[in-house]
Amino acid sequence: MANLTTNFIGIKSPNPFWLASAPPTDKEYNVVRAFKAGWGGVVWKTLGAEGPPVVNVNGPRYGAVWGADRRLLGLNNIELITDRPLEVNLREIKQVKRDWPDRALVVSLMVPCDEESWKAILRHVEDTEADGVELNFGCPHGMSERGMGSAVGQVPEYIEMVTRWVKSHSRMPCIVKLTPNIADIRKPAEAAKRGGADAVSLINTINSITSVNLDTFSPEPMIDGKGAHGGYCGPAVKPIALNMVAEIARSPETHGLPISGIGGVTTWRDAVEFMTLGAGTVQVCTAAMTYGFGIIKELTAGLSQYMDEKGFTSVDQLVGRAVPNITDWQYLNLNYVAKAKINQDLCISCGRCYAACEDTSHQAISMSPDRKFEVMDDECVACNLCVNVCPVADCITMEPMAKGSVDPRTGETVGDYANWTTHPNNPMAKAAE
């Protein structure tokens, strides 16, 4: 049986699945049920400094984007950090850590950008004996207007400065949570590293307006006729999150910096993808909010079975495994040739591949009078659009041509794949040297 235990920057958990800082982790009642269900750890809903209470809206705080089957693809929220009193949260955190010593309990923090505020809250958190802190430099609404959250996360100098304060006033491991609302994710990650962060976590939510009410002409969720941008998350953001994780994992400046991957993780496959791109743990929010804490059973069972099938004995063996295979476009092998192939036994003759290829792509699919669809290899550029629009899984596949065969489209011989980077026919070979 695969061993799912994880040691992430010294924080141990029985599996790499943590609940992200959000409503599922905002109180003892929730976190205890999550631990009972089997979650390996939690990042407690973000705590703020002592002071005036945080007040949330009293109307709808979530918006959504659905698939055709009404499955939730994207969630948008205008919620703030915890609105529960600091001392109540701290008391509950201490109790939960005492009762569940084998689970990871990280406390998310967001306080004003001055050293005293950070020093004060860190003292309180240290008293709880929590395993670490996560600095919320990510929330894009409500708190950012007050100079916190993504207002800090968008300025690398601030990230470095605050991280340095945290490391100098606390012995706890420190994870810096990054905002994706930035042009180059490597810059804040580098700043976190310079400040002494033990790890980064990403992504927090993406600035978004999910819909506009066409009767009231107000963005949704609508509060008394007005709306504000919110933070987008859920399955729709996973590709963006994966890319950002990969960018940090493969950058020479941040390579090796531990990463906790967040953004759209719903299935064990999503989680493994994050891990192979460099994430040592994954955090989950929207999937738990959509399906409940029970999904942890499928996450752990799926990961365990996958690892057994592939012969991995520890989670660490997966971490970063895909990183060497991420490259820049100029290094892609232009001598690699594939062609689309339609499996006639699976084809339902819907014609979507034909419509897409004929009207918008390369006119490489023929249609017979009895609606038989076939690929013309001398026109096919292997763009993959037919695969993507086909409603039947595995009906259309991309088949690589054998080395030495002739591409009927170009008349060229399919060449030496291995040495393409330095191959004289590669126009980018000089740049690559």
Ligand X SMILES: Cc1cc2nc3c(=O)[nH]c(=O)nc-3n(C[C@H](O)[C@H](O)[C@H](O)COP(=O)(O)O)c2cc1C
139 has catalytic annotation: yes
When the beta carbons of 46 and 300 are compared against ligand X, the nearer one is 46
* Residue 46 sits in the site that holds ligand X (CB under 6 A): yes
When the beta carbons of 192 and 284 are compared against ligand X, the nearer one is 284
Considering only 13, 181, 204, 300, the residue that binds ligand X (CB under 6 A) is 204
Structure tokens at 33: 């049920």
- Find, among 341, 335, 411, the residue nearest to 376 by Cα: 341
- Smallest distance, ligand X to C-beta of residue 237, A: 6
Q: Draw the binding track, 357-396, toward ligand X (x: CB under 6 A; -: no contact).
A: ----------------------------------------
Is residue 44 within 8 A of residue 110, CB to CB? The reply is: no
Angle at which helix 268-276 crosses helix 238-250, to 10 degrees, equals 20
**Euclidean distance between CA atoms 74 and 285, whole angstroms:** 12
What is the DSSP code string of 297-315?
HHHHHHHHHHHHHHT--BG
Considering only 6, 30, 108, 254, the residue that binds ligand X (CB under 6 A) is 108
* Residue 263 sits in the site that holds ligand X (CB under 6 A): yes
Q: How many residues does the chain have?
A: 433
**Euclidean distance between CA atoms 50 and 167, whole angstroms:** 21
Q: Draw the binding track, 164-183, toward ligand X (x: CB under 6 A; -: no contact).
A: -------------x------
**Euclidean distance between CA atoms 286 and 110, whole angstroms:** 21
Considering only 138, 140, 219, 227, the residue that binds ligand X (CB under 6 A) is 138
* Residue 16 sits in the site that holds ligand X (CB under 6 A): no
Is residue 405 within 8 A of residue 399, CB to CB? The reply is: no
Parallel/antiparallel/unpaired status of strands 72-77 and 338-342: unpaired
| 226 exposure class (CB count in 10 Å sphere: 0-12, 13-18, 19+) | exposed
Q: Draw the binding track, 52-91, toward ligand X (x: CB under 6 A; -: no contact).
A: -----------------------x-x-x-x----------
When the beta carbons of 222 and 284 are compared against ligand X, the nearer one is 284
Judged by the rule CB under 6 A, the positions of this chain that interact with ligand X are 20-23, 45-46, 75, 77, 79, 81, 108, 136, 138-139, 177, 204-205, 233-234, 237, 262-265, 284-287
